[in-house]
Amino acid sequence: MAKLDSYLARKSSVLAERRTDFQNTPEKAVITLTASSKVAGITGARPTKMGESVMVTDAAPGLAGHALGPTAPEMLLGAVASCLVHTYLIQAALMNVPLDHIEIEIMGKLDMAGVVGLAYDKPPRLQDITYTAHVESPASGDDLRRLHEEVEMTCPVLNTIRYPVEIQRNSES
């Protein structure tokens, strides 16, 4: 028996309900997600609301921050890592792959030159993003290979970064 069997059984049951619901009412499968952020007075810290949760984000001291929370690029990497872990759980439940543990480590490089007003060739962005999936499972090597492939194909945040979508700014002064 794998350590996450009871959770994956519950996850599988809930996923079956969602599939039935979405098959019967396809428009329910498309959800709208929201987030907002603002500056908190003279601190520069930014309470960021994501859904019903609020997290304080901040800059590092090298950018006049106080390191009161993760930076925005760190949050982006954290969002990818969290979504990958969740997608591993979903796919393991769908594929009946037993899991003992799943952990994602992710890193990326960011050229800060353009951020601080220096000349730049490319707009500042995270580059060379790599992740390692630490999967502990009694499953066969073939089952784990298929699990990795399914996760790569179905992780929404990973796919948003891999296949960028257009972002529009709505101006309000």
pLDDT of amino acid 172: 83
Backbone angles phi, psi at 170, to 5 degrees: -95, 115
Residue 173 belongs to some domain of the structure: no
* Residue 112 domain flag: yes
Examine the domain organization and report whether 59 and 141 are in the same domain: no
pTM: 0.95
Mean pLDDT of 70-89: 99
- Residue 92's H or E segment, with its range, is helix 72-95
Q: Identify whether residues 65 and 77 lie together within a single domain.
A: no
Number of domains in the chain: 2
Using CA atoms, how far apart are residues 77 and 85, in angstroms rounded to an integer?
12
Q: Quick check: is 122 in a domain?
A: yes
Same domain flag for 114 and 134: yes
Using CA atoms, how far residue 55 sits from 10, 49, 106, 157, in Å, is 28, 7, 20, 19
Domain finish residue from 69, 92, 125: 69
Shared-domain flag, residues 138 and 54: no
> What pLDDT, on the 0 to 100 scale, is given for residue 12?
98
Is residue 172 situated within a structural domain?
A: no
| 52-72 per-position pLDDT tens digit | 999 999 999 999 999 999 999
CB 147 within 8 A of CB 139: yes
Q: Which residue in the block uniquely carries the two structure tokens 């979405």?
A: 22
Q: Is residue 167 assigned to a domain?
A: no
| pLDDT reading at 173 higher than 80 | no
Return the sign of the alpha-carbon dihedral for residues 154, 157, 161, 165: positive
- CA dist 53 and 35 (Å) reads 9
pLDDT more than 70, % of the chain: 100
Spatial separation of the C-alpha atoms in residues 77 and 84, rounded to whole Å: 11
Domain that holds residue 142: 5-28+71-162
Task: Assess whether 111 and 81 both reside in one domain.
Answer: yes
CATH number for the domain harbouring residue 95: 3.30.300.20
Give the residue carrying structure tokens 């619901």.
Answer: 21
Using a pLDDT cut of 90, give the percent of the chain over it: 97
